[in-house]
Chains A and B, each alone.
Chain A
Amino acid sequence: MSTVLVCADDPSPAVTLEVPEANVVAVDNLCTSPKQIATKVPEGEALLVLAVHREVADRGAIQSAARQLGFDPLSVGIVDLSATTGAAQASLACEANLARISRFSGSVPQQVKLLPNQRKTRKAFLSLGAPVYVGAPMIDGPSCVADQGCKLCVTECPTDALSSTGGAVAYDVTKCVACGICVTTCPTGAIENPSVDPGAVEAEIQTAVNRSPDPLGIRFRCRDSVVAAESGWYQVEVPCTGMLTVGWAFAPLLLGAAHVDAVPCGAGGCGLGNDERLEKTMRDVATAVETISTDASDLARSASASVHQGWLNHGSTGRVLSQVTGAHAVLSMTFDTADVGMINIDPSTCTACEMCAQICPTDALRSAPNVTGVRISFDPQICVGCGQCVATCPELEHGAIELKRGFDVSEWAAARREVRYEPTAACEICGEPVAPAAMLSRIKEMLGEEATETMALVSRRCINCRGR
């Protein structure tokens, strides 16, 4: 059983909520006196949602009361009654929030970010309210590929809270604003934030869509923004809408939503410039919708038959696009921002050095050297468009490799394919491979006239036989 406590105060009149399989209790002054939840929640209760009026509720005090009751405050669902149009929408929000928090897997002390309580007043000299905590990122060392040269999270972090040091990523919680961008940027899914668990968000959206009697739009909004309630739209809170990817924007359609929308911060804009980021993503989404279909609701209908889950998971943008473009046999889209990519290798300039395959964090580019040659293959289904292969290519200036952030139905369907084969020269003594022929040619070209003697040795004998 779950408990939903509903604030029965002004500014909006008390609403009577109906939430299946939950004990719904109306509580006077819940927004202003959250300590009383201790007497309202049965002992041993696993799930708790509070429906409050955001503008008057003290989130810090709510978290404090929840903590005292033995809850992890990040596991308590908060529904803003002011952002709902009435009892039906508020009930739906409570049910969807219960679905979200039921997926909460816990947090550790390193995953909470302390925000000073803005309700602190100078009137009561030196008094301060209970601080508000939000989920903060934590890097899973074994999954992180910083040691292979990946710095995507470092580059994308808007506050320089992440830095690259000696093949690892260092995190400074004091600079972090817990915007979630690193979570959706990480090419290997090594960064987790308990406030933005993709599975939990997906459960919330799925429940809202399934339980709504009418077609429902999904509107992502920033944690700090206040968005007016609108009939037919359900608001999903994320730390910052700048973290949304093309995949996240499309995924609600696959879950049955009629529309998708994302609202950036208020009139003052995002202080971190993340609204620009959101704008780019949504522009890509609009282009894709235009390319695929003129009516997003058609798209939703065709896609909602799918029963697959995990659309918001790391690296799933390609799968999402594959699903939404299902009926289109020939379709190619390019994006500015999408975390999907297609690789093109130019055999006339690529030396088959394999560095691109070695650095690829998802194994989308893979090399298979053997005695006769080097084969490099590419799987677009797992490419996250991170660009590490391009950044590391020593022949980039000659156009050896190109990354197109985008999606091609036919390429996707083909899955892994060979993108480069280069024969290797065999050692004249032992027969072992020396180096790819193209690489030897390139070295020769670079050495020019001085190459004669060195090249003769390098190109005919492997590294073990050169001294003989």
Chain B
Amino acid sequence: MTLESLSRLRQGVYRLLGAGFSYPTAEIISAAGGATTLFEGLGVFDYAFAPDVAKAAAALANAKLDNLGVAYVSLFEAGVGGVACSPHETAHRSDARTGEVPVLQAELKRTVLRYGLRLADSSEDLVDHVATELHVMAMLCHRQTQLHAASAPVGRVVSSQLEFLNSHLLQWVPGFARLVQAKKRHPAYTALAEAVSAFLVHERQLVPLLVTEAEGPP
């Protein structure tokens, strides 16, 4: 295992989880099927989150697209009395009545732009959607992988990861995951919620170590 393969692994896990919380498609289900083998090659079993991520990938790969679509809508898009588990950060961290939603979204957009990223025009999800935020981390990990490959310093990009993790994902995704788990609408979403929770708990410990590593003497 190298730091490069670790960042590649983390990128893969973020992408899997991000895709899992996007509106389901046949491509996503198909990609989930190959994820376990890919992660195994990257040494996933060295890490405590491995069983949860493997379980989520398997549950997603075995899901039927139609059922998954129904569960997605009932969990994240519609519901009597409101969305059952809103996948948007602003729904968990702001009071829409006080006008905080646009403020938080604008701040999030600025942060992402500062990292040199921009939401694709074709994206159907908002910037504060759980899938988008997980993909932001995946992109930051991707950049870290590239820097490792080029033997370039990675301090800045891992600091950005730590900042985004602490300022956004860790602030609301664990609570969101608990909601999804409690609803038990579909085994794949329950497993994805467990996996994202386990992975972020691990990231909270791992990323500060990576920052220290990057700042350390060569």
Contacts and interface: CB of A to CB of B under 8 A. Distances in A.
A109 B45 contact: no
Interface string A288-302: 000000000000000
A67 interface: yes
Interface stretch (B49-57, B117-125, B132-140): B49-57
Nearest to A117: B46
A228 B129 CA distance: 56
Interface string B133-176: 00000000000000010000000000000000000000000000
Nearest to A64: B46
Given A70-B51, A126-B148, 6 more contacts: A65-B45, A73-B48, A109-B197, A114-B205, A128-B1, A133-B48
A231 interface: no
A147 B148 CA distance: 48
B101 interface: no
A110 to B, nearest CB: 6
A130 B206 CA distance: 12
Interface stretch (B2-10, B15-23, B77-85): B2-10
Contact of A130 (B1, B4, B51, B148): B1
A434 to B, nearest CB: 45
Contact of B209 (A67, A68, A116): A116
A73 B45 CA distance: 11
Given A113-B205, A174-B204, A128 B2 contact: yes
Contact of B201 (A65, A110, A126): A110
Most buried by B among A68, A70, A73, A113: A68
Contacts of A128: 1-3, 6
A364 interface: no
Interface string B172-203: 00000000000000000000000001100110
Most buried by A among B1, B47, B52, B198: B1
A174 B201 CA distance: 10
Given A116-B209, A127-B2, A174-B208, A109 B52 contact: yes
A129 B1 contact: yes
B43 interface: yes
Contacts of B47: 130-131
Contacts of A116: 209
B204 A131 contact: no
A262 interface: no
B2 A126 contact: yes
Interface string B63-99: 0000000000000000000000000000000000000
A22 interface: no
B197 to A, nearest CB: 7
Main secondary structure of the interface of A (DSSP, over half): mixed
A247 interface: no
A130 B43 contact: yes
Contacts of A65: 45
A458 to B, nearest CB: 44
A114 B1 contact: no
A114 B46 contact: no
Contact of B205 (A61, A73, A173): A173
Most buried by B among A60, A73, A128, A174: A128
Contacts of A61: 46
Interface in A99-149: 109-110, 112-114, 116, 126-131, 133
A195 B81 CA distance: 44
Contacts of A60: 46
A112 B209 contact: no
A109 B204 contact: no
A165 B202 CA distance: 23
Most buried by A among B51, B52, B197: B51
Given A126-B3, A128-B1, A130-B1, A114 B48 contact: yes
Contacts of B208: 174
Interface in A52-76: 60-61, 64-65, 67-68, 70, 73
A113 B205 CA distance: 8
A127 B43 CA distance: 13
A205 to B, nearest CB: 28
Contacts of A64: 43, 45-46
Nearest to B4: A126
Contact of B46 (A109, A113, A126, A131): A131
Given A67-B45, A130-B43, A173 B3 contact: no
A173 to B, nearest CB: 6
A128 B5 CA distance: 10
A219 B192 CA distance: 44
Nearest to B46: A130
B6 A114 contact: no
A110 B6 CA distance: 21
A112 B198 CA distance: 10
Contacts of A131: 46-47
Contacts of B51: 67, 70
A130 B50 CA distance: 13
B10 to A, nearest CB: 13
Nearest to B209: A116
A130 B5 CA distance: 12
9 contacts: A64-B46, A109-B52, A109-B198, A110-B201, A114-B48, A114-B205, A114-B209, A130-B43, A131-B47
A114 B206 contact: yes
A70 B45 CA distance: 10
B107 to A, nearest CB: 24
Contacts of B205: 113-114, 173-174
Given A114-B205, A174-B208, A127 B1 contact: yes
A173 B197 CA distance: 15
B73 to A, nearest CB: 28
A60 B50 CA distance: 14
A68 B41 CA distance: 12
Contacts of B204: 173-174
Contacts of B48: 67, 73, 109, 112, 114, 133
Contacts of B50: 67-68
